[in-house]
Amino acid sequence: MKISSLVSTVLVALAAYSPLSEAHRVWIKPSTTVVSGDSEWVTFDAAIANGIFNPDHYAYPVERLTALSPSGNNVALQNKAKLKYRSVFDLELTQPGTYKVFNQSRSLVARWTDSDGKKHYWPGRGKVATLADFNQQVPKTAEDLQVTDVARRLEVFVTLGAPNQTALKPTGKGLELNPISHPNDLYTGEAFTLQFTMDGEAAEGAEMTLVRQDEKYRDKASANKYTADANGEVTMTLSQPGMYWLEVEYQDERAQAPASKRVGSYVTTLEVLPL
């Protein structure tokens, strides 16, 4: 089952990540991912859109985002504004190393049919629910009750000077990137490896979709598809420079009760530089 980020005004929060038509993609696009000097600024666009890096549907809620410095401390997003189809903000890079801007969520999601034949989806679009909420609000004897543990992560990385790993360290929760190759050190013609983990364990079989910028100007869709190996890894070599949107999806049946399925989704933006 494909679960993508939810979008609509009632969902302001797509950040909570409810199911949505796969036509809509969520993304954060930095103006650049690597800068030099003693300090610099990077500006970002954030949106939920039909196309990659082409804002045309809904502005992503910036208040859902958190930024970490190269030392792992929170830093403020500045000059934030919500436009019609995109949000914008700046990040001041004053410390050498890699910064992370991200949102993560985890929720139980349930579907069932009531005695009148009406279908229900809980906890509602754009909302996050805990086990305590589930125990209070979901009828345990409902017909065809299906419960899923859904973990979502949206993030992007930018680096001042030489990259470092502190802000990239996995938490062991949800679907995460374990950067064997640093995401801000990618060049055309050079192989790089990305590993993904689900709750700290290799996400074997995770499905990855990679789309290069300027998709709207190509006659044919040109998404690259990959499947993670037993170590949760994918190695790729890209011949064209530019910004790339990466979506990773994972599911298994190793969820803890009351869920019967565990689902993870991960989205990032990678910049591949000419060698």
Q: Which domain holds residue 251?
A: 9-106+149-272
Closest CA to 55 of 79, 33, 24: 24
**Residues 236, 172 contacting (CB under 8 angstroms):** no
User: Using one digit for the tens of pLDDT, what is the confidence trace for 166-205?
Assistant: 999 999 999 999 989 999 999 999 999 999 999 999 999 9
Q: Are residues 100 and 111 in the same domain?
A: no
Pairing of strands 233-236, 192-198: antiparallel
Q: Are residues 154 and 141 in the same domain?
A: no
Indicate whether 108 pLDDT > 90. yes
Residue 17 — very low, low, confident or very high, per pLDDT cuts 50/70/90? very low
Total-model pTM = 0.88
Residue 125 — very low, low, confident or very high, per pLDDT cuts 50/70/90? confident
Angle at 29 between CA 27 and CA 30, to 5 degrees: 150
Residue 142 — very low, low, confident or very high, per pLDDT cuts 50/70/90? confident
Q: Are residues 74 and 121 in the same domain?
A: no
Strands (E), 136-218: 143-160, 175-178, 192-198, 201-202, 207-212
Q: Are residues 112 and 207 in the same domain?
A: no
**Residues 60, 47 contacting (CB under 8 angstroms):** yes
Pairing of strands 119-122, 97-113: antiparallel
Q: How many domains does the chain have?
A: 2
